[in-house]
Structure 1
Amino acid sequence: MNDNLTAVLYGIEDLRLEQRPIPVPKDDEVLLQMDSVGICGSDVHYLVNGRIGDFVLRKPMVIGHEASGIVAKVGSKVKHLQIGDRVAIEPGYGCRVCDFCKAGRYNLCDEMIFCATPPFDGNLTRYFTHPADFCFKLPAHVTMEEGALLEPLSVGVHACRRAQVGLGSEVLILGAGPIGLVTLITAKSMGASKIVITDLLQSRLDVAKELGADETLVVERGASETEVVKQIHALFGGAPDKTIDCSGAEATSRLSILATRSGGCAVMVGMGAPEVKLPLVNALAREVDIRGVFRYCNDYPAALSLVASGKINVKRLITHHFNIEETLDAFNTSRHGLGGAIKVMIHVQPKDTNNPK
């Protein structure tokens, strides 16, 4: 137990593999032997731009935050986990004592520690320590890859909860990337009666259709806003009562307001430019609620139960597999969408080592 190969981002376009010391867990932590780590759009963004908004890479940072692993050591105060347990890792945790944490909205904590968000290290490494209460034991039939995918799935769960999706909801989802697709399968499981999803790429919409979208719409670049709203309303036979923007482009942020039924709800998940031009008077005059989403909180248990019950299939999102030694190739594949890449999975241990036999 001396190999701790780790993927470290030193700066823009400078991702390296190196050996690091194996960490020692604190009393309330576990040491995890990492298994599967998915590549997120934010990981790619740090590689290409070195920052996301106010989060700026100023020193080398271990990359990766969509992950699962095996408990290798337990801290003295840890009671609910033991060596050998397979767990999904919720990568962000708050201070536990501020008003936000105590009210259960720890994703808004000013002291939030989140994997692979500067200045905090992520978990694309062979060994990693994490608070035990943010590790969720996987049932025997759930794979390690599914465990890693609970992270993006939790964003979809949080978005649908913020939109108050329920029985009979008609939901428009803008963007069919990984977050759009997990939002789609979550909305379906929560009882939405009709879901329309849009994207620029037909290939992504084909996957959305496979995952249960009722209708899909390719939005042509440069298409007029009025025309796109008309097309969306035609597909619904009216206006949707919930719109979830999983893109973050100014065009989709505007559409999320313009296409939503009066009195409905527009939820913004995707993050684009820090300032955008929105048809605010339109939203106010029609009482369209605009809600933000920042990651998730208290959503991992629901995401895990959705996967464990078989109600949703996240495995379809995984298009590519690499081992940790191939990390640079994995990032290149994810970044450029090579071979129709949706979710690229990096295996820190040989694939299927810890999966149900």
Structure 2
Amino acid sequence: MEPGATCGYCEDCKHGRYQLCPDVEFAATPPYDGTLGRYYKLPSHLAYLLPDNLSLEDGAMMEPLSVGVHSVRTLGQIKANQTVAVFGAGPVGLLALAVAKALGAKRTIAVDIDQNRLDFAKGYAATDVWLPPKKNEGESIIDYSRRNSEEMKAKLGLTDRGPTSVDLIIEASGAAVCVQTGLFLVRTGGTFIQVGMGTPEVTIPITMLLVKELTVKGSFRYGPGDYELAIALVAQNKIDLKPLVSHRFKFDDAVEAFQTTKAGKSADGKGVIKAIIDGPQ
């Protein structure tokens, strides 16, 4: 189910961009309750029938996967044989990589400051990974981002133009350094999609955006057709969601699930990628 009921009457809803509806009732966004219950009420057009070869756990993962579909396909308009770099190897970033790979990207690059997440990404959907260097003492954030981009290009054999350039950037971390690095990294005439919510104000090289004639878009949740494609990609075995579920909890252990996710790892030291809470029995 798509956990955001919109009005259906505003300008954005009528134009097919219902994710921008000002009156959306989105689950777990105050003052609206979340879906942690036996029943959840929403319009029938936001409920999707799962194919027989998919489980309810797969269904629960369609929400973050649809965020990846919206950013990579709907807004990023990825084409086969392109190179995509994703900043942030959390659930949304990993699924963005998976969508890019499923839709024909020739190269998918994961960027993160956590080596364990990069190791997982390399075994999941990334052809290359990048662990940023340490920031030098006294180095400004923008200078560090520029250096990070240049080192990344040199080590991974990336260029500003041509077949070895990065066509599409998906920024899924929200960190200022990642936003800046992505803008420096993307090819001339390329596309940059901002998905992560983090630093509210970021300094960007605006003149470079003009000279490179970049397409820069914000990505907010998901819209028409995103859930359908997400379900199809999994049903056709083009994306495997199971490796992402690192922790499973019974319904009565929901509080532990939230605490584990907040801590980033369980009591046994295992890092959290995605925690799933079973429905009530």
- What TM-score results when the alignment is normalised by the length of structure 2? 0.90
- Total equivalences in the alignment: 262
- Offset at 1:284? 1.4
Within the candidate set 49, 54, 60, 1:148 is matched to 60
SS in 1 for 2:54: coil
SS in 2 for 1:138: coil
Q: Which has the larger radius of gyration?
A: 1
- Offset at 1:232? 2.5
- Correspondence for 1:244: 170
- Offset at 1:231? 2.9
- Offset at 1:237? 3.1
Taking the aligned partners of 1:102 and 1:257, their CA distance within structure 2 comes to 33
- Offset at 1:274? 2.1
- What amino acid is the match of 1:345? I
Within the candidate set 185, 194, 212, 1:286 is matched to 212
- Correspondence for 1:29: none
Q: Which runs of 5+ in 1 are unaligned?
A: 1-88, 351-357
- Offset at 1:227? 3.0
Encode CA deviations 1:295-343: one digit per residue, 9 max, x unaligned: 0102100000011111110111100011121112111111111111100
- Offset at 1:221? 4.3
- Offset at 1:164? 1.3
Q: Give yes or no for the alignment of 1:267 onto 2:200.
A: no
The answer as to whether partners of 1:93 and 1:106 remain within 8 angstroms in 2 is: no
- Correspondence for 2:13: 101
SS in 1 for 2:12: helix
- Offset at 1:236? 4.3
Taking the aligned partners of 1:326 and 1:225, their CA distance within structure 2 comes to 41
Taking the aligned partners of 2:26 and 2:181, their CA distance within structure 1 comes to 31
Within the candidate set 212, 225, 232, 2:145 is matched to 225
SS in 1 for 2:78: coil
Within the candidate set 140, 163, 167, 2:76 is matched to 163
Counterparts of 1:1-357 in structure 2 under 5 Å?
Answer: 89-161=1-73, 162-222=75-135, 224-234=144-154, 235-238=156-159, 239-298=165-224, 299-338=226-265, 339-349=270-280
The answer as to whether partners of 1:200 and 1:221 remain within 8 angstroms in 2 is: no
- Which deviates more, 136-145 or 220-229? 220-229
The answer as to whether partners of 2:5 and 2:42 remain within 8 angstroms in 1 is: no
- What amino acid is the match of 1:160? V
Taking the aligned partners of 1:237 and 1:274, their CA distance within structure 2 comes to 29
Instruction: Return the structure number with greater strand share.
Output: 1
Taking the aligned partners of 2:255 and 2:34, their CA distance within structure 1 comes to 16
Taking the aligned partners of 2:214 and 2:152, their CA distance within structure 1 comes to 17
Q: Which runs of 5+ in 2 are unaligned?
A: 137-143, 160-164
Taking the aligned partners of 2:71 and 2:214, their CA distance within structure 1 comes to 16
The answer as to whether partners of 1:93 and 1:107 remain within 8 angstroms in 2 is: no
- Offset at 1:275? 1.6
The answer as to whether partners of 2:146 and 2:180 remain within 8 angstroms in 1 is: no
Taking the aligned partners of 1:330 and 1:122, their CA distance within structure 2 comes to 15
- What amino acid is the match of 1:114? F
The answer as to whether partners of 2:149 and 2:182 remain within 8 angstroms in 1 is: no
- Offset at 1:260? 0.7
Give the share of equivalent positions with the same residue, in percent.
39
- Correspondence for 2:139: none
Runs of 4+ in 1 over 6 A off after TM superposition: none
Taking the aligned partners of 2:191 and 2:57, their CA distance within structure 1 comes to 33
The answer as to whether partners of 2:71 and 2:195 remain within 8 angstroms in 1 is: yes
The answer as to whether partners of 2:37 and 2:280 remain within 8 angstroms in 1 is: no
- What TM-score results when the alignment is normalised by the length of structure 1? 0.71
- What amino acid is the match of 2:48? F
Taking the aligned partners of 1:248 and 1:128, their CA distance within structure 2 comes to 30
Instruction: Return the structure number with greater helix share.
Output: 2
SS in 2 for 1:271: coil
SS in 2 for 1:340: coil
